[in-house]
Amino acid sequence: MSSQKNISPPAWADRFFNWYCKNELGESIQGDLHERYELYRNSHSRIRSNLLYWMDVIRFINRFTLRKKSTRRTFIPTIMLKNYTLVALRNIKRNVAFTTINVVGLAISMAVCLLIIATIDDQTSYDEFHSKGDQIYRVTHRRLNDVNLPIATTPLPLAEKLKNEYTGLEHIVQFRRGFSGEILDNGKAINISGLYTNPELFDLFDFELESGNVGTALKEPNSVVLRNDIATKFFKDKDPMGEDLIIEGLGSFKITGVLKEIPGKTHINFEAFASFSTVASLEKQGKLSESLSDWDKLSGGWVYFNFKEGRHLSDLQATLNRISDENYNEESEYDVVFSIQKMTNITPGPLMGNQIGQSMPNFFIYGLVILAVLIMTCAAFNYANLTTARALTRFKEVGVRKVMGSTKGQVVMQFVIEAVLVSLFSLVIAIGLLRLLIPAFEGLNMSSLLEWKLNPGTKVYVQFLIFSLLTGLFTGFFPSLYMSSVKPINALKGMDGPKMSKIGLRKSLIVTQLVISIVLIISATLVHRQIKYMINKDYGFNRSNIVNVDLQGQDFDLIKPELEKLSFVERVSGANNIPSIGRHDDIELRKNVTDEEVKYNYFSVDENYIDNLSLNLIAGTNFTPKQTEEREVIINEEAVDALGYESPEKAIGGNVILGDSTNVNIVGVVKNYNFMILYMDIKPLLLRYNPEEFEWAQVKVSGANRIDELKQMESTWAGFDPNHDFEYNYFDEQIEEFYSMFYDIVYIVGLISILSIVIAGMGLLGIATYSIQTRLKEVGIRKILGADGKNLILILGKSFFIMIIISTLIGGLISFFGNKAWLELFAYRVSFGFDIVGIAFLFIIVIGGLTIGTQTWKAMRTNPADILRNE
């Protein structure tokens, strides 16, 4: 027995018991529990006894043990509300400077969060106007033997098959792309792009007709329904009903309806709907590629549907699985599985290929939410820091309140209410700031791409309000806990507040903020450098003074001599694609008929191309001009290796087969140049002599007088093709424009890093004020004993300097590994230089020096007599 006396019951169980049972019964119950444990130990093993003890403890959870200890009458907290508000307002008024820092700090970060809320709201507002919205689904597919990205399209025969084999669907609507072309309108060609679809469209979706009949509008072949703004564009005030639209390449369509204005945003991108019954005849005439019955045309169209009452996803999925088993297997070109996607999950939704319109990937939304949380956390930390720093002057107030009978809870309440008030003030300013921010953001390329329309409505404002209330609660929570732990006796004796180890906590908060700022500064600098690097990189070809003219279907051979007649035009070459902006074609290639085919990237060019782009021909010759048949090909160095030649010279004269049976000789080898987007490596490339594919004329001009040159080229074009506007781009600008998306990212990251620096600077200011205020007496004594300014700055600033160094180290490491991850996606990348860390460090040092310096200076300037007199 005595040996077992020392063995006590499991401490965790005791702790648990003490946690849930806080009333006067606790002691005697725990005594009984312990006594009983000893009885267990007499007859059971230790483990078993412990288990039994735990069970006893758990069984004791009941209404008697959970009862609150105090029988103090409950106090209505609302009685004091008026007083809290009054005191809060007085305090705000008395400390204008402090309040300003607090409010401005909160307001800036809040504005960004509001922007994020508005964005999320905007991006989740797609397709809200459909009454069946949340019952609409679509079929998507995934190729098991190819890229594993889900794709929104399905082959066209699927809709018919579903109709026949599954009876549980109410409406099936399918869309087919390919309703696009030019319409001649008063001599000018205007593009129209839309979708083919079936009449059930109007049953499933809530697109309404302004004129026309929903039952018949899309029934007959060659009928078309226009979006109302498109109708106005073509017909102004005239009634478009019954008019014919002649679309180049597709034929004549009769207008059978005009849509009412769409009451919201939809993820379906269209200007017009044409009747699906048109598709069959267009495919037969060869105007559209055959896809009506081709299960391998996986990008054929989109299928939307809703269920009949009482039918569910799972049995449809079974049918879909059966259909995919019937048509695909591991041996077929594609091994396809179908799945079902809810329409409300499309945008924002998972990243998918072949979307029917724009769609924001949901990870973007998650990223934004994380960002908002991060920003708000920083701001809340700051508020906590500043408030506790200021709290020095308010301990007496809390002391008096407590003496008068305030409970801890009431003090907490008071400070939370103050925080909520500050946060509401900030909201007002933040909304003002938001109004300024919105136009700046809507100017970004990205936002026009995503149809970013930020005009917050009432719903959004209510969200703002809730958000700011929550922010107030959150930010007020920590300081209020601190303030409420004041012991009245100490506070009234004029002693300091609760001696905090919390200074350590606050230091780590500041370090966290500084780390975030440093990571953001470094990342923004890196992103900026990377983009600049990509734009200014030597692409290996000339792109200045080249005007890329869109041929718009015109014959290159006819326009070339016209352009060459102009005095300033040096040379004109033709091409099917513009290099370095992400577009190129592939063709299969093999050396011998028996070899396996390998896909190669190629550009179709002519004999002027190499000169025009100043490509470096390192072996062989240029194309023979005016070939009628494709017999020659020029390859790059990579292709020399890929084809297995030992040197460029050895490759000359080699014979390869392009596609099915085009035999061509290698006549030349060019030095590698970047024909792909710059984040990819240079791949094997073929330059083919194939004028039939030309879509661009690349005109090398002198560049002496750009405006005049453009005018002359335009008038040449107008004499040549009056129906189309002259479409051109300067090559270098085109490349720059292509990368401008990335500039948006720099813009956003830059903005956020400035923001975080501001917040961190305020945090520093707060903690500097606090710690220097508490050390005023020390400063006074040191001054009397003869310390000079230099010494004092060293003493007071040391801990901050250490904090900044620690944050730089941590921030540098985090940004090194974080940025490495994305930089490695780029084949051509800037290196992570330690000069960037240096810049960030300097930046923080300057900001920190300014905030801490001013405080230190203020402390130094005070007369020691004033400080020490109070003792």
Partner 1 sequence: MRFNLGEFEEIVLLVVAAQNEEAYGLSVTTSIEEELKRPVTMSSVHTALYRLEEKGLVKSEIGGTTKSRGGRRKRIFMITSAGKEALLDAKNARNHLWSMIPKVVFENR
Q: Which residue from 703, 693, 771 is spatially nearest to 390, judged by alpha carbons?
A: 771
Of 19 and 593, CB closest to partner 1: 19
Per CB under 8 A, the segment of 36-44, 230-238, 534-542, 607-615 that binds partner 1 is: 36-44
Measured from the CB of residue 70, what is the shortest distance to partner 1 in angstroms? 18
Residues 55-114, interacting with partner 1 (CB under 8 A): 56, 59-60, 62, 64
Reduced to 3 states, what is the DSSP secondary structure of residue 188? strand
Q: Which residue from 688, 657, 662 is spatially nearest to 592, judged by alpha carbons?
A: 657
Per CB under 8 A, the segment of 25-33, 325-333, 524-532, 787-795 that binds partner 1 is: 25-33
β-bridge mates for residue 154, sequence order: 301
The site for partner 1, by CB under 8 A, has a size of: 20
> Does position 857 bind partner 1 by CB under 8 A?
no
Q: Which residue from 111, 104, 99, 106 is spatially nearest to 433, judged by alpha carbons?
A: 111
Of 44 and 529, CB closest to partner 1: 44
Token readout for 109 is: 């970060």
Measured from the CB of residue 14, what is the shortest distance to partner 1 in angstroms? 9
Of 24 and 629, CB closest to partner 1: 24
- Choose, by CB under 8 A, the member of 16, 22, 36, 371 that binds partner 1: 36
Residues 829-848, interacting with partner 1 (CB under 8 A): none
- Choose, by CB under 8 A, the member of 16, 29, 614, 809 that binds partner 1: 29
Q: Which residue from 738, 735, 737, 739 is spatially nearest to 613, judged by alpha carbons?
A: 735
Where b means 16+ CB within 10 Å and e means fewer, 833-846 reads eeebbeebbebbee
- Cis check: omega of the bond before 348, within 30 degrees of 0: yes
User: What's the rounded Cα separation, in Å, for the pair 304 and 502?
Assistant: 58
CB 204 within 8 A of CB 304: yes
> Does position 34 bind partner 1 by CB under 8 A?
yes
> Does position 39 bind partner 1 by CB under 8 A?
yes
Please give the helix or strand (H or E) that residue 171 lies within, else none: strand 169-185
User: Distance between alpha carbon 864 and the CA centroid of its chain, in Å?
Assistant: 55
How large is the C-alpha radius of gyration of the chain?
37
Of 24 and 660, CB closest to partner 1: 24
Per CB under 8 A, the segment of 35-43, 195-203, 355-363, 812-820 that binds partner 1 is: 35-43
Distances (CA, A) of 635 to 405, 583, 669: 90, 18, 5
> Does position 8 bind partner 1 by CB under 8 A?
yes
Of 61 and 465, CB closest to partner 1: 61
Measured from the CB of residue 53, what is the shortest distance to partner 1 in angstroms? 11
Strand runs labelled E in 568-722: 569-575, 585-590, 598-605, 617-620, 632-636, 655-658, 662-670, 685-689, 696-701
Of 39 and 850, CB closest to partner 1: 39
Measured from the CB of residue 126, what is the shortest distance to partner 1 in angstroms? 56
> Does position 239 bind partner 1 by CB under 8 A?
no
> Does position 28 bind partner 1 by CB under 8 A?
yes
Which residues have a Cβ under 8 Å from the Cβ of 348 and sit 6 or more positions away? 123, 124, 359, 360, 361, 362, 364, 365
Of 58 and 489, CB closest to partner 1: 58
User: What's the rounded Cα separation, in Å, for the pair 726 and 562?
Assistant: 14
Measured from the CB of residue 1, what is the shortest distance to partner 1 in angstroms? 9
Strand runs labelled E in 213-320: 223-226, 244-247, 251-259, 272-275, 301-307
Measured from the CB of residue 25, what is the shortest distance to partner 1 in angstroms? 7
Per CB under 8 A, the segment of 28-36, 215-223, 514-522, 552-560 that binds partner 1 is: 28-36
Angle at 23 between CA 22 and CA 28, to 5 degrees: 105
Measured from the CB of residue 34, what is the shortest distance to partner 1 in angstroms? 5
Measured from the CB of residue 12, what is the shortest distance to partner 1 in angstroms? 16
Measured from the CB of residue 45, what is the shortest distance to partner 1 in angstroms? 20
- Choose, by CB under 8 A, the member of 3, 6, 35, 187 that binds partner 1: 35
Per CB under 8 A, the segment of 54-62, 299-307, 370-378, 802-810 that binds partner 1 is: 54-62
Token readout for 515 is: 């780390």
Measured from the CB of residue 29, what is the shortest distance to partner 1 in angstroms? 6
Contact flags string 339-378 toward partner 1, x per CB under 8 A: ----------------------------------------
Measured from the CB of residue 471, what is the shortest distance to partner 1 in angstroms? 44
DSSP state of 262: P
Of 54 and 461, CB closest to partner 1: 54
Distances (CA, A) of 333 to 7, 328, 336, 595, 596: 72, 8, 9, 19, 16
> Does position 38 bind partner 1 by CB under 8 A?
yes
Of 52 and 183, CB closest to partner 1: 52
User: What's the rounded Cα separation, in Å, for the pair 666 and 664?
Assistant: 7
Per CB under 8 A, the segment of 23-31, 353-361, 592-600, 660-668 that binds partner 1 is: 23-31
Residues 191-230, interacting with partner 1 (CB under 8 A): none
> Does position 51 bind partner 1 by CB under 8 A?
no
User: What's the rounded Cα separation, in Å, for the pair 359 and 138?
Assistant: 15
Measured from the CB of residue 370, what is the shortest distance to partner 1 in angstroms? 46
Q: Where does this chain bind partner 1 (CB under 8 A)? A: 5, 8, 25, 27-36, 38-39, 56, 59-60, 62, 64
